[in-house]
Amino acid sequence: MQKLKKYLFLGSCFLLMLVFLTSCSNDNQIAITEKFAGSGGPGDFYKITLNMTDNIIEYENLTNIEDSGKESFKKINNNLFEIEKNAVYFAKLNDEILIVGDETANDEEGLLTAVKEIKTEYGNDIDGTYNVATSLEGWVGIVEIDATNNKLNVQLDTNYSGSFGDNSSEEEILDNLDYAYNDNYDAIEIIESETFKHYGVFINNEIGIFDSYMWENNDWVGDGMFILVKQDNNVELSEYAGDYYSVDKDGTVIPFNLNYNSNLEEVEIYLADEKIETISSSDELKNLPGVFEFEIQDEDTGKFETHRAIFLPGKAIVVAYEGIEGQEGSAGLFVGIKAE
């Protein structure tokens, strides 16, 4: 799986965005802008503005105001763009999802992941059940949101058993957590405990991106991110087929393909024209509808590593993986967006 991880690791992030905000561009045209917000690595909650008329990306780190600025970019195609200063790429799906490479990040976190920024206090529109994947551990699970009472419940499969409640870890089941809208971040704030909190943004009741923090040495320190995808109990594998783009943590672009084989009723995963694995209906986890488990062999160790794929049909794929036993930072997740 080293090949998949080497090329497809996205350790981190998602943001929300507001489109068609207008301002004057340099040539007096009306500038078309798109706004995003989300997770940019450990402890970095960003807001990003793309000026699609003048090809300028502006970013603001709400947790570290000094980490703000703007750069020029150029368009490669409808999904891919290059930030010219550092030759770093970003990919976006329409005005909904943004993935930016961060060559300065550490091994565990590497990408800024964002979604369309929407000014909302998140009412009943986010009510429901979501599948979730974590960036640092490669865990998957379920998040149930009760928007009427501003409560949520979390169940995590921390030992890749395919179920919950069979691990003594207190992290596995978190019940009755409160959340509230935070005006400073324009995001949901979850207070898990006195030492853990999270900020998150949603789009279209489909996907949410959360940045996590823990209290350590008298300060809030970044603790990874997690991505929520609305649970779908009527999965059609054929809807997952197509070309996808991922961006590695150093900003390089990783194209891959999911091909639906109707004869075998499975999805074949191709990287650089080489089939690396398949996903079939039998791979769906019983306790996690819409989450598929498959094994990929590591080229160096020869061991097979567990991967779990969560799909947003026609838009994105989130894959969590368990990593190499004893090798810190080898677990995580990557995100791919559907090519137009």
pLDDT digits (tens, 9 = 90+) for 274-290: 898 999 988 998 888 88
A 10 A CB-CB count for 5 gives 21
Which candidate, 99, 94, 87, places its Cα nearest to that of 41?
A: 99
Question: 24-33, 133-142, 146-155 — which is least confidently predicted?
Answer: 24-33
pLDDT at residue number 152: 93
In a domain? residue 297: no
**Phi, psi of 131, deg, nearest 5:** -85, 150
Q: Is there a contact between 42 and 108 (Cβ–Cβ < 8 Å)?
A: yes
- In three-state secondary structure terms, 151 is strand
CA distance 258 to 266: 10
Instruction: Give the domain extent around 99.
Output: 7-116
Which tens digit of pLDDT belongs to each residue from 43-92? Answer: 688 899 999 999 999 988 888 777 788 999 999 998 999 988 777 888 99
Q: Which long-range contacts (CB under 8 A, 24 or more apart) does 163-168 make?
A: 163/286, 163/287, 164/287
**How much is the pLDDT for 3?**
41
Cα gap 155→248, rounded to integer Å = 29
Q: 11 lies in a domain?
A: yes
Q: For position 5, what pLDDT does the model report?
A: 37
Residue 104 lies in a domain: yes
Determine which of 48-57, 184-193, 211-220, 247-256 has the lowest per-residue pLDDT on average: 247-256
- The tokens describing 146, both together, are 């009760």
Q: Is residue 56 part of a domain?
A: yes
267 pLDDT above the threshold of 50: yes
pLDDT reported for residue 103: 62
Helix/strand/coil (H/E/C) assignment for every residue in 5-64: HHHHCCCCCCCCCCEEEEEECCCCCEEEEEEEEEECCCCCEEEEEEECCCCEEEEEECCC
Q: What is the pLDDT of residue 174?
A: 86
* Percent residues over pLDDT 90 in the chain: 30
Q: Which two tokens stand for residue 169?
A: 């870890």
**Rounded mean pLDDT of 128-146?**
92
- Tell me which H or E stretch contains 286: none
55 within domain boundaries = yes
Better-predicted residue by pLDDT, 98 or 322: 98
More confident residue, 43 or 316: 316
What six digits make up the tokens of 155? 């169940």
Q: Which has more pLDDT, 29 or 39?
A: 39
| AA letter at 197 | K
For the stretch 1-17, pLDDT in tens is: 334 333 333 333 333 33
Provide the whole-model pTM: 0.83
User: Where residue 125 falls among pLDDT bands split at 50, 70, 90?
Assistant: confident
Of residues 100 and 251, more confidence is placed in 100
- Mean pLDDT, the chain, whole residue set: 81
Whole-number pLDDT of residue 100: 85
Residues 6+ apart with CB under 8 A from 230: 128, 129, 130, 131, 205, 206, 207, 312
Does residue 16 contact residue 139 with C-beta atoms inside 8 Å? no
- Long-range (24+ apart) CB contacts under 8 A made by 318-326 are 318/133, 318/227, 318/229, 319/8, 319/133, 320/133, 320/134, 320/138, 320/139, 320/140, 321/1, 321/4, 321/5, 321/138, 321/296, 322/138, 322/160, 323/138, 324/298
Residue 89, domain member (yes or no): yes
Asked, for residue 26, whether it belongs to a domain, the answer is yes
Residue 64 belongs to a domain: yes
Q: What is the pLDDT of residue 278?
A: 92
pLDDT of residue 329: 60
**pLDDT of 34:** 92
Contact between residue 29 and residue 53 where contact means Cβ atoms under 8 Å apart: yes
Mean pLDDT in residue range 192-219: 89
Domains in the chain, number: 1
Residue 327 CB neighbours (<10 A): 9
The number of beta carbons lying within 10 Å of the beta carbon of residue 309 is 25
Assess contact for 336 and 242: CB atoms under 8 A. Answer: no
| pLDDT band at residue 340 under the 50/70/90 scheme | confident
Pairing mode, strands 253-261 and 151-157: unpaired
